[in-house]
Amino acid sequence: GESVGLHLPTLSVQEGDNSIINCAYSNSASDYFIWYKQESGKGPQFIIDIRSNMDKRQGQRVTVLLNKTVKHLSLQIAATQPGDSAVYFCAERASGNTPLVFGKGTRLSVIA
Amino acid sequence: ETGVTQSPTHLIKTRGQQVTLRCSSQSGHNTVSWYQQALGQGPQFIFQYYREEENGRGNFPPRFSGLQFPNYSSELNVNALELDDSALYLCASREPGQHVDEQYFGPGTRLTVT
């Protein structure tokens, strides 16, 4: 399959444990943030998003936390499963019709 | 499956050549964006097309150009290829009314320039 990101930061977690993936963003004008999951050989898949007027948003097994003071975004995955193994990207966008700016990504490896 | 397909899957070109990459979106998806993803990096926005016209562009030179067709297919053309153009090229589409960032990505085309 496709190999994406040979030199990415890596996070290894035991199956069933919770995972926390962190992201620092640079643009204080960004008002919209998204997490994507990219599996080998596939394009990025939307996971969850959050607007700058919120500090927490929950989805199915995932939670995104936003700390605008320190420009930090995190993705928490509960009860991590082998199918969660992938590269995770955060992306930010300023207001208006501005393009998404992706972070470098983190490779999550789940140990069965 | 996202319903977005890209062709070819892999491609090898020589520096200075031209290349055309293709994307087929789901029916009704009238907005398509193209991204370049270098190894170990996140995708970088190249440009976006809406109803067959370019309506947004990232920091890429004019030798990167595109076309969008009425049948929801699109092309990315790159002229005068350089070694640094080696990357995974992704297209993403969305339907009217869908949130701008709830895009459906294709699997990408891996371009290698030698």
- What's the CA gap between A18 and A27, in Å, rounded? 29
Encode pLDDT of A51-101 as tens digits: 999 999 999 999 999 999 999 999 999 999 999 999 999 999 887 667 888
The minimal CB distance from A103 to the residues B39, B42, B110 is found for B42
Interchain pair A49, B101: CB under 8 A: yes
Encode pLDDT of B38-73 as tens digits: 988 899 999 999 889 998 999 999 999 999 999 889
Which residues have CB under 8 Å from A23's CB, separation 6+?
A72, A73, A74, A75, A90, A103, A106
Partners of residue A108 on adjacent β-strands: A11, A86
> Is the distance from CB of A36 to CB of A47 less than 8 angstroms?
yes
CB contacts, 8 Å: B44 with chain A: 102
Encode pLDDT of A4-50 as tens digits: 334 579 999 999 999 999 999 988 889 899 999 999 888 999 999 99
CB contacts, 8 Å: A87 with chain B: none
The minimal CB distance from B110 to the residues A2, A7, A32 is found for A2
Which residues have CB under 8 Å from B61's CB, separation 6+?
none
